[in-house]
Structure 1
Amino acid sequence: MEILIKLSQFLLSLSLLIILHEFGHFIPAKLFKTKVEKFYLFFDVKFSLFKKKIGETVYGIGWLPLGGYVKIAGMIDESMDTEQMQKEPEPWEFRSKPAWQRLIIMLGGVTVNFLLAFVIYIGMAYVYGDAYLKNEDLKDGIYVTNPILEKAGLQTGDKVISVDGKVIERFNDLPEALLLGVGKDVVVDRNGTQEKITLPENLIGQIVDENSKTLISLRVPFVIAMATEEGGNSEVLLSRDIVQSIGGEPVRYFDQAEEILAKYKGEKVEIKVLRNENQETVIASVDDKGKLGVAVGMIGMTDMEKLGYYKLSHEKYGFLASIPVGLNKGKEKVVSYWSQLKLMIKPETGAYKGVGGFKAIYDIFPSYWSWENFWAITALLSIMLGVMNLLPIPALDGGHVMFLLYEIISGRKPSDKFMEKAQMAGFFILIGLLLFANGNDIYKAIFVK
């Protein structure tokens, strides 16, 4: 069932993005009286799952879910229909239209992608509002869960003040800031003293090599989910007990327990727990590895607020107020993704190792249905699709735009023969990128544990 839920979200999001992107090309093409021969969701190599001709356009669904396309008459595209291009131009063909009209048609897809993302972020601000933790409210700092960050110099308990000179106002923004802060300075408050830490330039590459899932997290209480029979504490430590002290030493956070328990290997120790809002004292056994033999649990943010750990800040927006909030969110995501792309083309960062294909996109979606998560992921993917399509690679929208801008500035139109060769070169570049991205997925699935 979990696989079905993830797959449903993946296909729904992908289909929505493809259809709207292609409509971005389709609508201005029709406005400028340009013939659109095909409009397809997915690729129809050899055959279609569905097709129907309405007017001059064949609408269909292909069987290969690697994208979609509109086939515009008189345009050198992925169909490589060179036979049509050898005929005299017709007034309803793409190549007969003024350069400015062709530019608008080519920019239509990415324009819709960016508009869609901004509209989603505005809608989410209006419907869901905003819930976040102020970074300044983390009185006892962060929990560093990644040994690579520890090696770089970050420690559990550090209060991160800024990354590369930018003050971190929300904890929610901190993991991404650290990930993109490769080779940059992180200023932390450590026991009342400010210290500067420089993250290694190949931080992302190291994280991918180690298959690290998290960088940092909130420091959370030591909650018992279940004590195993083998550990010998199943009668004394109960589900939802919150450990408050071990051997008389206070334990406010889970990360403090390991060092204390190591002192009592193979012994019994007095533990105070919070049980049903009452404090209880129990005697528990510690094994030879310094473990209690328990599964660690979690409590929700509401419970942590009640216990005085954290306080969530909530923002609600009216419709008009949600517009600048959503626009700002969209702008931040565009800047963030562009920063990620710049890191990927720098071999020394190792960020290219993290490039993923369709499985990586599939894995972004949660195994439960949440409209809030679905729309947030779809907005992000829409931005990614828009930015990627703007890259100046022939066969992408950005490649066509590059040649059209050259034509507008120089007054000279590239020959059809040149465009055919450029399109073919771009096609092979895209195939190479596709193989690399999906090959990365396969490599990580087999070799990275």
Structure 2
Amino acid sequence: MTILLGIILALLIFSVIVFFHELGHFSMAKRFGVKVDEFGIGIPPRAKQVWKDSSGTVYSLNWLPIGGFVKMKGEEMNETGAHDKDFLAHKNFLEQSTVILAGVIMNFFLAFLIFSVLFMVGVEPLGINTKFQTSTETKLIPSFDEAVRIGLVKTDGIILSPLTGSIAEKSGLLDGDILLSIDGKTILSPEDMIMKVKQSTTVMNFTVQWSGGIRTLLITPEDGKIGSYVGHNVTEIRKD
């Protein structure tokens, strides 16, 4: 049943793609005055003539529900009346090229539309927290915080790295300093530090640990920033 549904779905998707492709040819042919004899869904033989418009175009459903087609006057080299104004062969090079390329352009437009909708609506990521039946059990971790929470990554404090010429560097912060506390309060995550700095407009006491011991720095943020990279001080990554 799963295989059958897969085949049906594949045929349906293929038919939608072909429909928009042929719709591109059809719309440009109509735009430039090319006579369209038939616009069909599926592959002949014809099952039903659905409608016939005032220009004589037949809209049909066909027995083989795969794709579709557009039959235009003048697309066959052996057709008589090639000089008739409603023949494709009678149109200038630009108009003929537009009619021929319109199918591909329409497919690009369809792809753009689909991906735009997916981007706006959002889709669930595949493989997150999913176990695959293989010789090795695998688990995908969606974020660094999740890796820390389940013990795959071990950290010890917050590591800092000041930007050249920044407030942090001018205040004495060194690359690799481990942040212990700000104004006497322990900082547990980079987010905690960023939030605390953003909320401060006065001098702050940064207690940091370095190879020579522990020291306290006085740093005054500007516009909620001190000019330093901040991240978890990773001490161990489990590979089992």
TM-score between the two structures when normalised by the length of structure 1: 0.28
Q: How does 1:285-296 map to 2 (within 5 A)?
A: none
Displacement of 1:88 after TM fit?
5.0
Structure 2 gaps, min length 5: 154-240
Distance 1:299 1:59, change over 3 A: same
Asked whether 1:54 is paired with 2:52, we answer yes
1:308, 1:38 → 2: CA distance?
66
> Which one has more relative contact order, counting CA pairs under 8 Å at least 6 apart?
1
Q: Which amino acid aligns with 2:80?
A: Q
**CA offsets per residue over residues 82-110 of structure 1, 9 Å max, x none?**
3xx23352111111111111110001000
Distance 1:219 1:10, change over 3 A: closer
**CA offsets per residue over residues 103-152 of structure 1, 9 Å max, x none?**
1000100001111112211211111157489xxxxxxxxxxxxxxxxxxx
1:254, 1:7 → 2: CA distance?
30
1:54, 1:71 → 2: CA distance?
14
Distance 1:104 1:309, change over 3 A: farther
Structure with the higher strand share, 1 or 2: 2
Identical positions, percent: 28
Aligned length: 147
Asked whether 1:86 is paired with 2:84, we answer no
Counterpart for residue 106 of structure 1: 100
Moved over 6 A (4+): 218-221, 297-302
2:130, 2:12 → 1: CA distance?
36
2:35, 2:60 → 1: CA distance?
16
Displacement of 1:28 after TM fit?
0.9
Q: Which amino acid aligns with 1:9?
A: L
Q: Which has the larger radius of gyration?
A: 2
Counterpart for residue 75 of structure 2: 75
**CA offsets per residue over residues 292-316 of structure 1, 9 Å max, x none?**
xxxxx887868x8664559xxxxxx
Structure with the higher helix share, 1 or 2: 1
Distance 1:129 1:64, change over 3 A: closer
7-16 or 24-33: bigger deviation: 7-16
Distance 1:220 1:43, change over 3 A: closer
Q: Which amino acid aligns with 1:10?
A: A
Asked whether 1:37 is paired with 2:31, we answer no
Q: Which amino acid aligns with 1:101?
A: E
Q: Which amino acid aligns with 2:100?
A: M
Counterpart for residue 18 of structure 1: 18
- Superposed CA RMSD: 3.7
Counterpart for residue 164 of structure 2: none
Contact 1:29 1:105 in 2 (8 A): yes
TM-score between the two structures when normalised by the length of structure 2: 0.50
SS across alignment from 2:74: coil
Distance 1:27 1:299, change over 3 A: same
Counterpart for residue 119 of structure 2: 125
